[in-house]
Structure 1
Amino acid sequence: MTLEVTGVSRWYGNVVAVNDVTMTLGPGVTGLLGPNGAGKTTLLHMMAGFLAPSRGTLTVDGEPTWRNPAVYRKLGLVSERESVHSYLTAHEFVLVSAKLHGLTDPAAAATRALDLVEMAEFQDRRIGTYSKGMRQRTRVAAALVHEPDVLLLDEPFNGMDPRQRMHMMDLLHRLGTAGRTILFSSHILEEVEQLSGTVQVMVSGRLAASGDFRTIRRLMTNRPHVFAVQSTDDRRLAVALMHQPSVNGVDLGREGLTVRAGDYGSFTRALPRIALKEGIRVRRLLPSDESLESVFSYLVEA
């Protein structure tokens, strides 16, 4: 199932919330990353058909999401804003969702969805007695009750404790591996890095980067790449590396070398050649700034 976003913008008067965004999402888990106010929620609402784009098109499997109720047979949404009735039990809340989708056995579907998010044990308690993490899992169950092919989640881990967060990450990973198209938004780098290597990075309403965040980092030619290097003779290797055009700087410390290279490919090709020439064995070579935090910081500051 493919979710297509083509040239989409959304503005409110003179305020541009989303600006000319184009992306294609297929099966698997993708993180929608950006600081608060970047336009993530607005984009998700347009993807879910809750909000009309000011310009551009959004489709699920070729069908438009706006003014097309039939799309909800294929799509589930967990919004950031809570909209649960505290006097209902979790089973009643998810059962309503199952009935609205016209499922043939809504009670069984509700039970199955609650079990999937580990809420079966608490399903007969009123939602008003739940913690925020439990309410969040109940809402995910309601979005999954009809087994949608596309699942959109806006800050899905809010309020969850570490164990709940790890279980939800595992669930989303399993759903993505099974062929579901899953997009979740977050401003927490650790969540995205643990769950998905594929990211869509939004900054100030625009799509700043798209793809595997490690690949994105390597394409950032304007920012030096930092490597941690250990060898049998760090001092002699440092001297040899300083003569390389691709090396911007070398620091020698107790743990080895910290090398700042202007070009990722040139440095990684040159290092084995230099080590062989100098009779040095490289014991460790590790890019030390290929984290999602490095990518995100660069894009936000750019």
Structure 2
Amino acid sequence: MATLTVSGVSRWFGNVVAVNDVTMSIDPGITGLLGPNGAGKSTLIHLLGGFLPPSAGTVTLDDAPVWKNPEVYRTIGLVPEREATFDFLTGWEFVLANAELHGLDQPAAATRKALATVAMEYAQERKVGEYSKGMKQRVKMASALVHEPSVLLLDEPFNGMDPRQRMHLMDLLRKMGADGRTVLFSSHILEEVEQLAHHIEVVVAGRHAASGDFREIRRLMTDRPHQFVIRSSDDRALASALIADGSTEGVSLDLQDKALRVQASHLLSFAELLPRVARGAGIRLYEVSPADESLESVFSYLVKA
């Protein structure tokens, strides 16, 4: 069992603040680090892995500082988002090199086991430069697992993987979490986190936006007001009909875009309301599209919640 603790951590690069006063604890099991692209997830993972010093605050592994502490690498395995591979090596040579760097008693046996764990034995004699992105992701995973770390840090691990590879990796991570390892993986895709993590940490623009059970945070996301852009055969009449119903929080007419902007408090109720109101008024609907379904808008809502 191992716990990573981030206490009041900030990290800046010149005038750019990448991580801003973040405090969180990563416990055994699977934790998802969720945030839009550019939110600071990769910086946080590099801080947790001891590859970057905090500009302020502390990062510890079971109360021991991570920065300038080589001993933590006996415990931590890191899979970075960038390729971080040597294309001139075979998959076997790449993983074996990491096993030897860790000073393992039987590096060849450990390499064989790690490659089998990620189902890459069939390609172990091919050069890494010939691998697809998904295969490179898996050989990086084998390299990170070769010393059987109790803490695994994964930065966007599913990038470039096909559906079969994704399912295999998800099953592997579930098993590791069930075995009591501390697994943290970052993603900007809500569904990936939903399928794997029971606990999540949400970061937005370098700040800690939310923390806790995924279901509770997902409920906050579901309960937020929903905004839609609607184009119809008669936007003014539709606006009047929607306002008269009283179940929408706001309706405005965008003259420039020639569309309605509607804010609904409950998605399912609005999905039932809109076609009923349009049919009753004899109005044809040409377009109904969400205006706030980007992850950035979801996370912005969480920050305000």
Whole-Å separation in 1 of the counterparts to 2:186 and 2:220: 23
Separation (CA, whole Å) in 2 of partners of 1:33 and 1:191: 10
Aligned to 2:83: 82
Residue aligning to 1:65: 66
Which residue type is aligned with residue 205 of structure 1? G
Q: Distance in 2 between matches of 1:172 and 1:297?
A: 29
Amino acid at match of 2:133: K
**Could you tell me how far 1:218 is from its partner in structure 2?**
4.4
Query: What is the aligned partner in structure 1 of residue 18 from structure 2?
Result: 17
For residues 11-50 of structure 1, the aligned pairs below 5 Å read 11-50=12-51
Q: Which amino acid aligns with 2:86?
A: H
**Secondary structure class of the residue paired with 2:86:** coil
- Structure 1: which amino acid aligns with 2:7? T
Residue 224 of structure 1, CA deviation: 5.8
Cα distance, 1:149 vs structure 2: 0.6
Partner of 2:124: 123
Q: After TM superposition, list the pairs within 5 Å mapping 1:192-231 onto structure 2.
A: 192-218=193-219, 223=224
TM-score, length basis structure 1 = 0.76
Q: 1:216 deviation in Å?
A: 2.4
Cα displacement string for residues 28-61 of structure 1 (whole angstroms, at most 9, x for unaligned residues): 1111111111011111111100000000110111
Q: 1:90 is aligned with what amino acid?
A: G
Give, as a single letter, the amino acid of the residue that structure 1 aligns with 2:203.
M
Percent identity between matched residues is 64
CA contact (8 A) 1:93 1:142 kept: yes
- Following superposition, the deviation at residue 298 of structure 1 comes to 3.0
Separation in 2 of the partners of 1:219 and 1:199? 13
Task: Check conservation: 1:213, 1:295, Cα contact below 8 A.
Answer: no
Q: Equivalents in 2 of 1:189, 1:251: separation in Å? A: 23
Letter of the structure 2 residue corresponding to residue 191 of structure 1: E
The CA deviation at 1:188 is: 1.4
1:300 aligns with 2:300: yes
RMSD: 2.8
Displacement after TM superposition at 1:252 (Å): 8.9
The count of aligned residue pairs is 249
Greater displacement, 140-149 / 192-201: 192-201
C-alpha separation in 2, matches of 1:252 and 1:220: 17
Farther-moved stretch of structure 1 (184-193 vs 208-217): 208-217
User: Take 2:195 and 2:165, find their aligned partners in 1: how far apart are those partners?
Assistant: 14
The C-alpha deviation readout for 1:69-110, integer Å capped at 9, x for no partner, is 010000010111112111211111000000100100000000
The amino acid that maps onto 2:144 is A
* Rounded Cα–Cα distance in structure 2 between residues aligned with 1:217 and 1:129: 40
Residue number in structure 2 paired with 1:4: 5
Contact 2:35 / 2:299 at 8 angstroms: preserved in 1? no
3-state SS of the aligned residue for 1:185? strand
How much does 1:128 deviate?
Answer: 1.5
Aligned to 2:190: 189
Secondary structure, counterpart of 2:18 in structure 1: strand
After TM superposition, list the pairs within 5 Å mapping 1:81-120 onto structure 2. Answer: 81-120=82-121
Give the conservation status (yes or no) of the 8 Å contact 1:32–1:200.
yes
Gaps of 5+ in 1: 226-241, 243-247, 258-292
User: In 1, distance between residues paired with 2:223 and 2:178?
Assistant: 35
Rounded to whole Å, the distance in 2 between the matches of 1:217 and 1:117 is 30
Structure 1: distance between partners of 2:72 and 2:166: 29
TM-score, normalised by the number of residues in structure 2? 0.75
Query: 5+ residue gaps in structure 2?
Result: 227-246, 248-264, 277-292
Query: CA 1:89/1:39 → structure 2, altered by over 3 Å: closer, same or farther?
Result: same
Q: Secondary structure at the match of 1:135?
A: helix
Task: Answer whether contact 1:7 1:56 (CA < 8 A) is retained.
Answer: yes
CA shift digits 1:181-221 (9 cap, x unpaired): 00011111121111113211100000100111321244679
**Residues 89 and 295 from structure 1, CA distance in 2 versus in 1: closer, same or farther, beyond 3 angstroms?**
closer
Q: For the structure 1 residues 215 and 127, does the alpha-carbon distance in structure 2 shift closer, same or farther, using more than 3 Å as the test? A: same
